[in-house]
Structure 1
Amino acid sequence: MAPARTGEAGRSLQLARALALLLPAALLAGAWGSQLIGGLHPCEMCHWQRWPHYAALAPAALAFAIQGRARVLLIGAAAMLIAVSGAIGVFHAGVEYGWWQGITGCTSTIDLSAGASAEDRLRAILNAPINRCDRAPWTLAGVSLAGFNAIFSLGGALTIFCLLTRRAR
């Protein structure tokens, strides 16, 4: 009976490791795709949600090269970072839905080329789109991108932790 547990525990660890790498990579790809292809420019809090996913990629990738207990700790660290992004997503979605006040101002993307004249730079500043943190630029069934990040990140982190717990038993 012990070999079956080892097999199941091994599969759980492999799945947790793959999920810890693929989830932040997929969410970042979606964020960049919506920005570069869909034209949805991120606000400041959108960027905040990306940072933990970038950070999660490092321990998740390293977990493929490390053996033993360190591998489990790396996967757990990646899951924690994914959960942090989800928590930021909850906060951002709450700001978008008007549940609470945000803590940041609006942001804008401005191209201030070095060779542009002062008049061209001023025109660029005045004509730049403002990306408000309290307005969802896109929703699906009433759920914003921040809301989807919260759902997928927190659900994924919980799944990874459950898989690691199954492995530990």
Structure 2
Amino acid sequence: MKAALAHRKIGFFLVLASVLALGVAWWVENILHIMPCELCLVERWPWRILLLVGLIDILLPGVAGGPVLWLSVPLLVASVGLAFCHAGVEWGWWPSPLPGCHAPHIHGTTMAERLASMPLLPGKPCDYPTYLVPAVPLSMSVLGGLYAAVVLGIFVVMKQRAKQAVRRIFH
């Protein structure tokens, strides 16, 4: 019973952490009207999947919840890795691996051909960082990576405490 409750707390934590990450991204895009780049959109996927992992743990605490929680580790590591990749693009260390992050290739000899080859929606270049806090020189992608690392650390601590609670019950 206590083990299932400890796991369920971890599931709630993962759901809240995911909702916060996705909520900030939604707020920046829809309230502040800052267009995300293609890498920004990719960086949201680990949080969406992590939300599902947390929900599975809450809904199925004993059956699939505990083992499913371990999926959060590679998801959070992937989130940190994506943030590092994006930060490297912002800092000019390497080009973006995604084609949508590059300037569009406009071709054609006439103005009509050039206009037809332009994308319908303008894209934000991935090497143009978004700074949410003016006094803090950390871009949104760097802050997202730091947040994922903190969530991973808290997850590991919570998982170890749950393991210790189970040991106390059975010993």
**TM above 0.5, one fold?**
yes
Per-residue deviation, 1:100: 3.0
Across the two proteins, how many residue pairs are aligned to each other?
A: 151
Per-residue deviation, 1:23: 0.8
**Structure 1 residues 93 and 127: alpha-carbon distance in aligned structure 2, compared to 1, 3 A threshold:** same
Is residue 57–residue 78 contact of structure 1 (8 Å, CA) maintained in 2?
A: no
Whole-angstrom distance in 2 between the partners of 1:37 and 1:124: 31
**Structure 1 residues 71 and 101: alpha-carbon distance in aligned structure 2, compared to 1, 3 A threshold:** same
Q: Name the counterpart of 1:26.
A: 20
Unaligned runs of 5+ in 1: 1-5, 109-118
**Structure 1 residues 126 and 52: alpha-carbon distance in aligned structure 2, compared to 1, 3 A threshold:** closer
**Structure 1 residues 38 and 67: alpha-carbon distance in aligned structure 2, compared to 1, 3 A threshold:** same
Could you state the TM-score of these two structures normalised by the residue count of structure 1? 0.75
Confirm or deny that 1:165 pairs with 2:160.
yes
Letter in 2 for 1:137: T
Whole-angstrom distance in 1 between the partners of 2:83 and 2:137: 15
Whole-angstrom distance in 1 between the partners of 2:49 and 2:95: 27
Among candidates 5, 10, 14, match of residue 16 of structure 1: 10
Q: Name the counterpart of 1:46.
A: 40
Confirm or deny that 1:58 pairs with 2:52.
yes
1:118-165 CA-partner distances (Å, limit 9, x unpaired): x7xx48947843311111032431111101110011210221122112
Whole-angstrom distance in 2 between the partners of 1:30 and 1:132: 20
Per-residue deviation, 1:79: 4.0
Among candidates 118, 130, 142, match of residue 137 of structure 1: 130
Q: Name the counterpart of 1:36.
A: 30
Is residue 46–residue 78 contact of structure 2 (8 Å, CA) maintained in 1?
A: yes
Letter in 2 for 1:18: F
**Structure 1 residues 124 and 139: alpha-carbon distance in aligned structure 2, compared to 1, 3 A threshold:** farther
Per-residue deviation, 1:37: 1.0
Per-residue deviation, 1:41: 0.9
Q: Name the counterpart of 1:113.
A: none
Per-residue deviation, 1:102: 2.2
Is residue 86–residue 154 contact of structure 1 (8 Å, CA) maintained in 2?
A: yes
Whole-angstrom distance in 1 between the partners of 2:52 and 2:119: 39
Q: CA RMSD in A?
A: 2.7
Q: Name the counterpart of 1:3.
A: none
Whole-angstrom distance in 2 between the partners of 1:45 and 1:107: 7
Confirm or deny that 1:102 pairs with 2:96.
yes
Is residue 76–residue 161 contact of structure 1 (8 Å, CA) maintained in 2?
A: no
Among candidates 55, 64, 67, match of residue 73 of structure 1: 67
Whole-angstrom distance in 2 between the partners of 1:69 and 1:13: 11
